[in-house]
Amino acid sequence: MKTIIKYMLLCLLAVNTVNAQENKESINLSNAEVTPYEIELTQNKTTHILFPSSIEYVDLGSSEIIANKVEATSNVLRLKSVKEDIKPTNFTVITNDGKYYSFNVIYKEQPIQLSYDLTKFEKQNSKQKSEVLFKDLGTTSASLADLFMKAIIKKNKKELNIKSKNYGVEARLKSIYTQDGKLYFHLSINNKSNLPYEVDYVSFKIKDRRTTKRTTIHEVSLKPIRSYRDFQTINSQSKQDNVFMLDQFTFSDKQTLLIEINEKNGIRKQKLAVKKNKIQNVLMVNKIKF
């Protein structure tokens, strides 16, 4: 009797195993495909692609094509083939706003088109682009971070009264917001002079307050993760707003956050001193209406 029962159990196990194997289906990834752009390259002419945001990463599928960012820009890629009649290949580009682009390449001696403006294309095409997550942004996507910064500028509320003014140029820290472990600093530059004001760079530093002349000043530099826009030139009698994102930080009563805006080839440096309580009482980004 025990032998019969064991035999029946083995039969049931075998049947269940066969059914499980028959019911098991492979996952179809066709719905997860990133639709590639088609592009033609040649050896004797250069092809340029203008992206909506700065290029962060490029990967080429073959050594038969070459690609470089145009030195004077951050969002233009130039490409060509290294020889005639190359095999079909591909390349991938990731931009600063988190967008993921895939391209299929074919060789053509006389390409129909040599310049592509994806900024113009994406304005006309409502198709949602694939997006990657950058390590320095944590769980916040690049597009969401840009949306936060855009909303802060659009709100344009002077939550703080921290400013610096000299040589006809006024810099102001309007507000500080926080979200997902990041701090957003809203800076505004108002050029009331008759000369254009070209920003070289903006720095963030935590410095010890000077107590005596013999005191050694300790300084910690903080690197912004990203900004809403690259400061360029603020023309005469005009204003420009920007938002800088930094990793969350704190400091003591004996320290100060110093924000410096440096003029390129000029002396009109602006300094904004931020006390500890301003950082501790920051506002939440999600309180802003989007």
- Where residue 173 falls among pLDDT bands split at 50, 70, 90? very high
The vertex-188 CA angle with 119 and 282, nearest 5°, equals: 100
pLDDT on residue 242: 93
Residue with tokens 């400091």: 251
The CATH 2.60.40.1150 domain(s) of the chain lie at: 143-287
Token pair of 156, please? 């344009």
Q: Place 5 in a pLDDT band, splitting at 50, 70 and 90.
A: very low
In which band, very low, low, confident or very high, does the pLDDT at 217 lie, cut at 50, 70 and 90? low
Q: What pLDDT, on a 0 to 100 scale, did the predictor assign at position 85?
A: 87
pLDDT band at 213 (very low <50, low <70, confident <90, very high): low
Long-range contacts of 33-37 (CB under 8 A, 24+ apart): 34/100, 34/102, 34/130, 35/102, 35/127, 36/90, 36/102, 36/103, 36/104, 37/101, 37/102, 37/103, 37/104, 37/116
The CA-CA-CA angle for residues 178, 183, 186, to 5°, reads 95
d(CA 116, CA 16) in angstroms, rounded, equals 57
| pLDDT for the residue numbered 78 | 94
For 94, other C-beta atoms within 10 Å of its C-beta total 21
Which residues does residue 271 pair with via DSSP β-bridges, in sequence order?
Answer: 260
Q: Residue 179 and residue 177: Cα distance in Å, rounded?
A: 7
Let me know: does 48 contact 114? Beta carbons within 8 Å: yes
| Phi and psi, residue 8, nearest 5° | -65, -40
**Options 3.30.70, 1.10.3470, 2.40.30, 2.60.40; CATH of 33-132:** 2.60.40
DSSP assigned state of 32: G
Residue of 113, 92, 116, 114 lying closest to 104 (CA atoms): 92
Mean pLDDT of 65-90: 90
- Under the banding of pLDDT at 50, 70 and 90, the label for residue 202 is very high
pLDDT of residue 174 exceeding 80: yes
pLDDT of 125 reads: 61
Pick the CATH number of 143-287 from 3.30.460.80, 1.10.287.130, 3.90.226.10, 2.60.40.1150: 2.60.40.1150
Report the C-alpha gap between 13 and 8 in whole angstroms: 9
- Given a cut of 60, whether residue 95 has pLDDT beyond it is yes
